[in-house]
Amino acid sequence: MSPSTNQITNQSTSQSSNSSAVLFQFSDQRLQYERRTLFDNLSLSIAKGERVALIGESGAGKSTLLKALREQRPDQVAWCPQQPGLVPILSTFHNIYMGALSSHSLAYNLVNLIKPLPGALSIVEPIAKQLGLEQHLFSSTDKLSGGQQQRTSIGRALIQQRPIFLGDEPVANVDEYQGQALLQLICQGHDTVVLALHDIAQALSICTRIIGLQNGAIVIDAPSDQLQASDLAGLYGAS
Amino acid sequence: MPLSAPNKTSSPAPQSAASAINTSAGALRTISFWFAICALLCLLLVDIDISTTDPWAEMGLMTAGALSPLVWSWPTLLSSLANTFAFALQGVTVAAIVGFALALGYRFTLVRAFCAFIRSIHELFWALLFIQVAGLSSLTGLLAIAIPYAGTLAKIYGELFEEVDPAPSNNLPRGESRPLSEFFYSVLPLAWHSMATYTSYRFECAIRSSAILGFVGLPTLGFHLETALSDGHYSQAAAFFYALLLMIGTLRLWLHKGLLPIYLVAVFYYLPPQATISWQLLVRFVTEDIVPAPLRGQALLSGETINNVAQWINLLWQQQIWPGLLNTVLLGQISLVFTGLLALALLPLNSSLFIQRRWKRGIGDSVLILLRTLPETLLAFIGLLILGPSMLPAILALGIHNGAIIGHLLGRYTEELNLRADASRGVTLYFYEVLPRIYRQFLAFLFYRWEVILRETAILGILGIATLGFYIDSAFETFRFDVALLLILVSAALNISVDQFARYLRQRLQLKTVPESL
């Protein structure tokens, strides 16, 4: 009980919006990754409308936590994993459209695979434009740069039009300026956003709440306007 | 009118040249499209009718036979099993040794061409040739398998040596060079595992080849199978059939590395390769029988001889070579595409992406393994009995056997795919995620199989389908060995050309160039 009280108080202060419906909830939970326990007793809750950044060294448990979050609300989550998992020989159009497969019939999907259909194009094109991919819409993704592939992966998340965005380093492969714009785009399209980020300045400027992870424990959990970059520096290389 | 673009984009036409369609899938799609079109056109040209009046009745009889296997003579069954095993093991052993030696010189074009030549002639054609001089002897069986397999193994070993990580041999001290020692230290150990895996796979193929040698008279399982099937003794045929399946199916259980020397001694003791060769006959065969008829005993360069040879070839071309070639190519093309389609349809049987339950997948994969265990020639023969003489049984046989092989491999390949956690399921997963990712691999497998399919297409002629093998078999039966040899050379040339073309396509489409286990 005691570790969770700390968080709840923190969370109530971090809550800048008026909505307080809880979307994700862990209390004293154990999380494992490939049979290795990463979190012994995790207690955490995330409410609707929050923009959360997960900060920590690699191996601290960010990806494991994101996966656990996704399992709690699989139907509401737009998922953007660290490895874009694109199908290399298919076009950017198809790779973005893949996020919308479940909202169309099988026959429609198969015809669209052979010849892009106007209806599908009218959904994908605006997203590609927002992401600066309109020039590459019909290039296969194996011909794209790492940054363009990552934007395609974000496109696949955006097309799902889900309320929650979970992203594991979604802008790691693009430059700082573009990264900022992409993160803003993501925040515009989703009520609730949880991002694993390594860029502290980005996290502070985009997110409303920062969760610092170290060795499978939450060591910082505070609203971003109460934190300085120096407060978070200790998460890296301290141990 | 507002300047902004209309909401509905009515056509996928891109606004600028930069977003023209430029996908890697495009090239693969184009090539697949043309292959399929070719196959459809071929299908219009060949006879695929069912000519038996009641195929179901024949199938019923066969099923009844399959359900009541009958061993009419255990000694016959066991000795034909032992012969089948002996020819296969002896053949592959000799082939591995010769193939290894050839592979050492694989960088020389001449060696490569020699290997391509000896493997382009089917083991049954080699058998038919050797039977003329060495009779239905154990030597004939051994050589018929060893020669083409040596060519295949040389190619595989040679390519494996080239593919080995070059770092270890680059790191050896420079100076006085000992190429062979360096090879044994820095190349062979790295390639050893793949060589062993591939050779053991080839051994399974050799058992099939050995069994099929019975179709031309050698005392293996195929001999009794063919006899029993032709006579309609389906219960007896079933016993030989199950014996073959059992032997191949249980290979892993009893063919251990450690026991190999014992088996080797046993097979050479049981069936020592020997033949009573009449030297007179051999000399006659080489200097007379296989020399084109118009050349025999003639002055080589006289105008009349040249004229006669030209006429001889012209007549052969019109009556045998051209129709044989055409039918072989047509049937090969149809079978290739059918193989591809079957492989793509069957691969989910061996993939955990589509069949999650382990035991269900086990059943699925067993079906594939069973189908690939059946030799094409045997399948085609059974098909001919049921459906009557046409191209249809051959297409089915080649497609089922090869489709199961590729389907099995592709299914296993899908296990290595890294899919996202939010990937779709079922048919959509297959077409959007799996098929595009495995398509290169699929084409690579299929193009490797192309040469094999064509070799088999030619050989199915001995069952009466009018491919090159049909004319070759007839020439042997009428003792026109000169014609037989010429036709064999034509079929070799065809196989080599197709192999080269497939190689060119693989390079052009940037497919993997080294086979895994084909």
- pLDDT, average across residues B370-399: 92
A14 pLDDT tier (thresholds 50, 70, 90): very low
pLDDT at B43 over 80: yes
pLDDT at B402 over 90: yes
pLDDT given at position B289 = 87
Please, are residues A129 and A102 in contact by the beta-carbon 8 Å criterion?
no
Selecting from A101, A113, A135 the residue whose C-beta is nearest the C-beta of B19 gives A135
Q: Which residues of A touch B423 (CB under 8 A)?
A: 85
Rounded CA separation B123/B148 (Å): 6
What amino acid is encoded at B37 in this protein?
I
C-beta atoms of A87 and B437 within 8 A: yes
Interface of B with A in 379-418 (CB under 8 A): 418
- Measure in Å the smallest separation between the Cα of B18 and chain A Cα atoms: 6
pLDDT given at position A8 = 35
Rounded CA separation B513/B507 (Å): 7
- Per residue in A48-99, pLDDT (tens digit) is 999 999 998 887 888 888 988 988 888 889 989 888 888 888 999 999 999 8
C-beta atoms of A110 and B19 within 8 A: no
Out of B11-25, B266-280, B457-471, least confident range? B11-25
pLDDT given at position B515 = 53
pLDDT given at position B165 = 82
- pLDDT, average across residues B211-238: 94
Selecting from A89, A102, A118 the residue whose C-beta is nearest the C-beta of B12 gives A118
- Per residue in B60-97, pLDDT (tens digit) is 999 999 999 988 899 999 999 999 999 999 999 999 99
Q: Which residues of A touch B16 (CB under 8 A)?
A: 135
Mean of per-residue pLDDT scores for chain B? 89
B428 CB within 8 Å of a chain A CB: yes
User: How many CB contacts within 8 angstroms connect chain A with chain B?
Assistant: 91
A126 pLDDT tier (thresholds 50, 70, 90): very high
pLDDT given at position B290 = 86
- Nearest-by-CA chain B residue for A140: B23
Interface mutation target, options A67, A72, A96, A138, chain B, most CBs of B under 10 Å = A138
Domains annotated on chain A, with CATH = 1-76+162-239 (3.40.50.300), 86-161 (no CATH)
B175 pLDDT tier (thresholds 50, 70, 90): low
Q: Which residues of A touch B8 (CB under 8 A)?
A: 118, 122
Tell me which residues of chain A have a C-beta less than 8 Å from any C-beta of chain B: 67, 70, 79, 81, 83, 85, 87-91, 94, 98, 101-102, 106, 109-110, 113, 115-116, 118, 121-122, 125, 134-140, 142-143
Please, are residues B197 and B409 in contact by the beta-carbon 8 Å criterion?
no
- Nearest-by-CA chain A residue for B417: A85
Out of A45-54, B302-311, B459-468, least confident range? B302-311
C-beta atoms of A140 and B25 within 8 A: yes
Each as own residue / partner, the long-range contacts of residues B99-103 (CB below 8 Å, 24 or more positions apart, any chain) are B99/B149, B99/B150, B99/B151, B99/B152, B99/B153, B99/B154, B99/B156, B99/B157, B100/B153, B100/B154, B100/B157, B102/B150, B102/B151, B102/B154, B102/B158, B103/B153, B103/B154, B103/B155, B103/B157, B103/B158, B103/B161
Rounded CA separation B207/B200 (Å): 11
Selecting from B19, B23, B418 the residue whose C-beta is nearest the C-beta of A90 gives B23
- pLDDT, average across residues B211-236: 94
pLDDT at B517 over 60: no
A6 pLDDT tier (thresholds 50, 70, 90): very low
pLDDT given at position A64 = 87
pLDDT given at position A237 = 63
Which residue from B115, B135, B213 is spatially nearest to B492, judged by alpha carbons? B115
pLDDT given at position B514 = 56
B300 CB within 8 Å of a chain A CB: no
Residue A193 has phi, psi (to 5 degrees) of -135, 130
Which of the two residues, A236 and B456, has the higher pLDDT score? Answer: B456
Out of B7-21, B57-71, B121-135, least confident range? B7-21
Q: Which residues of B touch A88 (CB under 8 A)?
A: 24, 436-437
pLDDT at A118 over 70: yes
A155 pLDDT tier (thresholds 50, 70, 90): very high
Beta-sheet strand order (sheet of A77-80) = A77-80, A164-168, A192-196, A51-55, A209-214, A217-223
- pLDDT, average across residues B86-110: 95
- Per residue in B480-504, pLDDT (tens digit) is 999 999 999 999 999 999 988 988 8
Q: Do domains B38-51+315-518 and B69-277 have the same CATH topology?
A: yes
* Protein fold of B69-277: MetI-like fold (1.10.3720)
pLDDT at A234 over 50: yes
- Name the CATH architecture for the domain at B38-51+315-518: Orthogonal Bundle (1.10)
B6 CB within 8 Å of a chain A CB: no
B274 pLDDT tier (thresholds 50, 70, 90): confident
Domain chopping of chain B, boundaries: 38-51+315-518, 69-277
Beta carbons within 8 Å of A164's beta carbon, 6+ residues apart: A23, A73, A76, A77, A78, A190, A191, A192, A193, A194
pLDDT given at position B19 = 58
- Nearest-by-CA chain A residue for B434: A87
What share of chain B has pLDDT > 70, as a percent? 94
- Nearest-by-CA chain B residue for A166: B422
